[in-house]
Structure 1
Amino acid sequence: MRTSGAPASDVRRRIATELADDVPWNRVLNSICTEPHPLGVEMASAAAHTNLGDVRIFRGTKRIERRVVRLLLDLMGNPGGSGSLVSGGTEANLIALLVARESARARGRLTDRPEVVVSSTVHFSFTKIFGLLGLTPVVVPVDDSLRLPAGEVARRIGEHTVAVVATAGSSEFGVVDAVDEIGPVVAGRDVHLHVDAATGGFIIPFARELGHDLPQFDFSVDGVDSITIDPHKYGLANVPAGAILFRGAQDAGRFAVDSFFIDTPVHNTLLGTRPGAAAVSTYAVLEHLGRDGFRDLTRTNYEVTQYLVGGLRAAGHELFAEPQLNIVVVRMPHAVRISQLLESKGWIVSTSKRFGETLRLVVTRHVTPEMVDAFLPVLERACKEVAAEVAPR
């Protein structure tokens, strides 16, 4: 730290210089997060000083969090459930499996080697979680449609199983597991079923209303015990805004830590200090857009996704899989080199370490047909340049 403080104008200038190096949204095609809604940004700024960890001071902010949780539970088909706002999908998934483990302990079902049944495409956050919680993953290969097969889940559940994780919108492909088939398999087995809907939670309900053939995944499915949903992705809230939701009205309290202080309630999240701005931003966007607004956003995202798919196919590219949501994965020889070349030209895409020779493109609110039109010629030039690089000489 400097001895004498710098003038505010100098600090602003230096920070502005660094921020100017961030990639503008109209060149970003790899992120499930997008530019947050302007009203959410405005309201988050108004609540920048708030802390959900101190409810005696920030009483109004805490009420807003409770309203947001109620709105999210209603969206997930379970207005009588419970939940909390958290930092994002990783924390939500961790709390879900912590509750699953401790619930198994309370029922006398926790063995010396607790296991969790997951798909081979489960989000990488679970790798962290298994290590932190001492859980052993039982990995089930996805089927030809890249989904977790319900029949295999049934076969893998055993005496050590404390949880099954299904995914409603995988990060790599946007694939929605058949939760409506997995739920009945898990129900009655005394095993916790968690649905990671961090990606798809703000897409699937509205896409189904628009007629898209997607599996039901929420609390209306028998057997679903908890759901992760991220308002800071397709919910357009400020980062960090995630949520963990539970079926039972008291389930969120299964993970509870008391503080040292009188009149301070227990904590049901990992973080003690939590940004109230995230709750306020989420509430502002949910209230402002409503179901109609999110349905319109979803319709537009699907239209742009199909526009992108059409442009890729017209250029002769083959899809790795038909997109269920708004993630397009295209087969691409020398994908890593092409991605590097695109980045040198200002465009950010992604490639998979697990599924080589593919390029992953994500459509969110900031992606427009005009942006697609600007991107496709750059992609074609990059493909030609890389083809020339690797051609035999």
Structure 2
Amino acid sequence: MEHVGLSASEVRRRIAAELEDDVPWNRVLNSICTEPHPLAVEMAAAAARTNLGDVRIFRGTKRIEREVVRILLSFLGGPTGSGTLVSGGTEANLLSMAAARESARADGRLTDRPEVIVSSTVHFSFAKIFAILGLTPVVVPVDDSLRLPADEVLRQVTEHTVAVVATAGSSEFGVVDDVETIASRLAGLGPHLHVDAATGGFIIPFARELGRELPRFDFSVDGVDSITIDPHKYGLAPVPAGVILFREPEGAQRFAFDSFFKDTPTHHTLLGTRPGSAAVATYAVLEHLGRSGFLAVTRHNYEVTDHLVARLREAGHELFVEPQLNIVVVRMPHAARISERLEELGWIASTSTRFVETLRLVVARHVTTEMVDAFLPVLERARRDVAAEVAYP
């Protein structure tokens, strides 16, 4: 059957009708992404035609990408490092592991069974990455605080170890590993130390400046070799926008593939065609907000998080772990069904498939104290409904 073209007005109408079914941000409490900054949306649209895979044409866009990398390195204590914009945390983590493997090869340390030490709560993107790159995970159980234990990491290092992955803000719990201690244990041993800060990269530097007791995780820590950070999460950029950063100026060169076209630059990312709009949108937010603007956003997020925690405790709820970032995890029997019931009532929360008796609530810029106060009675209704279901199936 022939696919007949439609008028622009009809296309707009159909898309608007479908988008009406999307859940509004003021009912979303499960996402570490948020409504992007209006200026970022505007600038992304202005740069929709651009392609960072063809920098002979999009020269200004490439300069903007370099400036984004420079600014983020300055935020993360590595002004002389390198990096590139990517599609998100998964690609950034993949490039870090590819770089670690190639670094081991260059140093003569690559064996026939390269291994990477990770925590039992490492982000699930690494399962994809290890399958693609042929790396073997060595999984270390987290300790009672849900962190990667540095001493156990040291015990697991062998001649096969090419990398260790620490997490600066797990997506399940917002827990920050003790990167400084892990780095000190690895000093002189050779493995690449990567920090997955996709969640916490735009939170921790500013939260520390606001007086929150959070560990250092960035390039100010000796031994950190690479960092994943996602502007499309707490950086308020539209999806997709991720960044991989390396301590060394040549770090981004470890993953390198030449084009067969003359004058087309070597690719240092998995994607060839890359949306320049991501670089432009991220640059717009970084330049517009500056450090003071991100401090203000972070202050707001913690004020709302503290309010949520206080209200939950007033209602008699027990936290699964004390929140370090803006992720609140509550002990709750039948959490998965309660999450389903909340969705039926118009609200989106989440529960872990590994810690099934917990409800996970995420605070991002779109979440307000008023939204929290509107949510909590709905949560109690969902709990009552599920309790009745369980009692009288």
CA shift for structure 1 position 4:
3.0
CA shift for structure 1 position 208:
0.3
Q: Which amino acid counterpart does residue 333 of structure 2 have in structure 1?
A: P
Which residue number in structure 2 is paired with residue 147 of structure 1?
Answer: 147
- Secondary structure of 2:117 counterpart: strand
- Secondary structure of 2:260 counterpart: coil
Which residue number in structure 1 is paired with residue 53 of structure 2?
Answer: 53
Q: Distance in 1 between matches of 2:244 and 2:213?
A: 26
Structural mapping, 1:18-97, within 5 Å: 18-97=18-97
Q: Distance in 1 between matches of 2:249 and 2:215?
A: 25
Superposed CA RMSD in Å reads 0.9
Q: Which amino acid counterpart does residue 290 of structure 1 have in structure 2?
A: G
- Secondary structure of 1:215 counterpart: coil
Structural mapping, 1:360-375, within 5 Å: 360-375=360-375
* Shift in alpha-carbon separation, 1:185–1:15, aligned structure 2, 3 A: same
Which residue number in structure 1 is paired with residue 113 of structure 2?
Answer: 113
Is residue 327 of structure 2 the alignment partner of residue 327 of structure 1? yes
Q: Distance in 1 between matches of 2:370 and 2:109?
A: 56
CA shift for structure 1 position 108:
1.2
Q: Distance in 2 between matches of 1:325 and 1:5?
A: 48
Which residue number in structure 1 is paired with residue 8 of structure 2?
Answer: 8
List 4+ stretches of structure 1 deviating above 4 A: none
Structural mapping, 1:1-393, within 5 Å: 2-391=2-391
CA shift for structure 1 position 238:
1.0
Q: Distance in 1 between matches of 2:56 and 2:105?
A: 33
- Secondary structure of 1:284 counterpart: helix
CA shift for structure 1 position 240:
0.4
CA shift for structure 1 position 211:
0.7
Q: Which amino acid counterpart does residue 220 of structure 2 have in structure 1?
A: S
Q: Distance in 2 between matches of 1:124 and 1:186?
A: 24
Q: Distance in 1 between matches of 2:31 and 2:226?
A: 25
Q: Which amino acid counterpart does residue 69 of structure 1 have in structure 2?
A: V
Q: Distance in 2 between matches of 1:224 and 1:254?
A: 16
Count of residues paired in the alignment: 393
After superposition, the C-alpha distances for 1:239-282 in whole angstroms (9 at most, x for unaligned) are 10000000110110111110011111100000000000000000
Q: Distance in 2 between matches of 1:217 and 1:102?
A: 23
After superposition, the C-alpha distances for 1:91-116 in whole angstroms (9 at most, x for unaligned) are 00000000101111111111111110
Q: Distance in 2 between matches of 1:31 and 1:165?
A: 23
CA shift for structure 1 position 392:
5.4
- Secondary structure of 1:329 counterpart: strand
List alignment gaps of at least 5 residues for structure 2. none
Q: Which amino acid counterpart does residue 178 of structure 2 have in structure 1?
A: A
CA shift for structure 1 position 57:
0.6
Q: Distance in 2 between matches of 1:118 and 1:6?
A: 51
Q: Which amino acid counterpart does residue 62 of structure 1 have in structure 2?
A: K
CA shift for structure 1 position 86:
0.2
CA shift for structure 1 position 3:
3.9
The percent identity for this pair of structures is 78
- Secondary structure of 1:224 counterpart: coil
Q: Distance in 2 between matches of 1:279 and 1:376?
A: 38
Q: Which amino acid counterpart does residue 172 of structure 2 have in structure 1?
A: E
Q: Distance in 1 between matches of 2:29 and 2:4?
A: 42
Q: Which amino acid counterpart does residue 259 of structure 1 have in structure 2?
A: S
CA shift for structure 1 position 2:
4.3
After superposition, the C-alpha distances for 1:141-189 in whole angstroms (9 at most, x for unaligned) are 1111111111111111111100000000000000000001111111210
CA shift for structure 1 position 51:
0.3
Q: Which amino acid counterpart does residue 14 of structure 1 have in structure 2?
A: R
| Superposition TM-score, scaled by structure 2 size | 0.99
CA shift for structure 1 position 202:
0.3
Q: Distance in 1 between matches of 2:14 and 2:219?
A: 48
Q: Distance in 2 between matches of 1:241 and 1:353?
A: 27
CA shift for structure 1 position 316:
1.1
List alignment gaps of at least 5 residues for structure 1. none
Q: Distance in 2 between matches of 1:42 and 1:4?
A: 31
